[in-house]
Amino acid sequence: MVNSHGSHTASVQQLVAQGLLSAREVIDAGLDAGLDAVGIASAAPFESTKVNLLERQAKGLHGGMAFTYRNPARSTDPAYTVPGARSLVVGALSYRPSSDTGCTTPDVSHIVSNRPLARVAAYAQRDYYAKLRSGLSHVADLLHQAGHKAVVVADDNALVDREAARRAGLGWYGKNSNILLSGKGSWFVLGSVITTAPLESARPVSDGCGSCRRCMDGCPTGAIVSPGVVDARRCLAWLVQAEGDFPEQYRVALGDRIYGCDDCQEVCPPNRRATTAATVTTASETQASVDLLELLAMNDEELMDSYGRWYIPRRQPRYLRRNALVALGNSNRGSHPEVAATIWRYMNHDDPMLGRHATWAAQQLGLANQPCNIPTEVA
């Protein structure tokens, strides 16, 4: 059973007291707690998903990504997390900012007194997972009160959340492998409550993409190699999170991004028609862009305080600086005195990886052969 609207009635407390809860009461509890859509699926193992993970891992398509690839047997079987699991209550929360065009990450590199800025993908502009977990926790509390085990998993390698959402009837797999919710698009973070409660399951919805391949054609690196299959080794959203040097062949394609990439979602017709937007009280709640010079002047503690909610490899701020240097190299701001000074300093950085990326940025901006007597220390 799936729903994206409704209200939680007083009769629920009577059902809890009797140890009885219907799928409807559970769904309405999630919606009342602020989730945008809620569905219920069986907690049976995701056998076909496990096969897909293992096959893509064998082909190297995971690009070194761990997450649900770390232990496919666990991430495709809810009973690993909750022994005796019977059901999954799957919740979706919108992170799509209000927009007339469906474009959530506009080019911002030209604004703010010519200071170079970099874009942040929509899902990372604020901590949407905190609200998602809160809504799911409300559902889990209700299930606990009714005498069932219930564990929240969100942004967690314990479960392949997209397959859970598909099973729960929330949507279908787009060709970019994201889940598209009927009439709402794919601008959603997903999570589940794994529970021992026996609840009526929804039926998966049919594919809604048809012959459309705009996401495949719109990917700047050609990372969507076939419908539903993404080669992480080419995907900018993964490469900004991966360890090591940023692949040189994809640095220009990164453009003015520093974290994430929304291109395949922005060109998606269902997303451009979607009306469900994230609830944001003030503009200050979101961070759509980053001042690159400001970031590159920060020390480690300041960087983690500002951006620690993002996935940063091994929690090492050097990777944020790496991404920033690539974006700076694409900024066309070589004549900006602070840009030149920042790049020259990083060319002599103690971290060889940052030195290599600064040298690349200098070459992009025509600064590589200019004389420099700037101190080598970088905050």
DSSP letter for each residue of 194-220: EES---PPPPPPPP--TT--HHHHH-T
Residue among 42, 6, 375, 359 nearest 200 (CA) = 42
Note the Cα 185 to chain centre separation in Å. Answer: 15
Q: Is 231 a catalytic residue?
A: no
Is residue 36 within 8 Å of residue 184, measured between CB atoms? yes
- For the chain, the domains span 2-96+125-195
- The whole-angstrom separation of Cα 203 and Cα 201 is 7
The 3-state DSSP class for residue 339 equals helix
Is residue 351 within 8 Å of residue 318, measured between CB atoms? yes
- The whole-angstrom separation of Cα 269 and Cα 53 is 28
In the DSSP assignment, the letter for residue 234 is T
Q: Compute and round to an integer the Cα radius of gyration of the chain.
A: 22
Query: The tokens of 304 are what?
Result: 């983690």
Catalytic residue among 32, 155, 207, 300: 155
pTM of the model: 0.87
Residue among 282, 284, 307, 285 nearest 294 (CA) = 307
Q: Kind and range of the H or E element at 42? A: strand 37-42
Q: Does domain 2-96+125-195 have CATH number 1.10.530?
A: no
**Tens-digit pLDDT profile for the chain (379 aa)?**
655 544 444 455 555 555 568 999 999 999 999 999 999 999 999 999 999 989 988 888 877 776 677 788 999 999 999 999 999 999 999 998 665 444 555 444 444 557 999 999 999 999 999 999 999 999 999 999 999 999 999 998 899 999 999 999 999 999 999 999 988 999 999 999 999 999 999 999 999 999 999 999 999 999 999 999 999 999 999 999 999 999 999 999 999 999 999 999 999 999 988 776 656 544 456 789 999 999 999 999 999 999 999 999 889 999 999 999 999 999 999 999 999 999 999 999 999 999 999 999 999 999 977 655 444 444 3
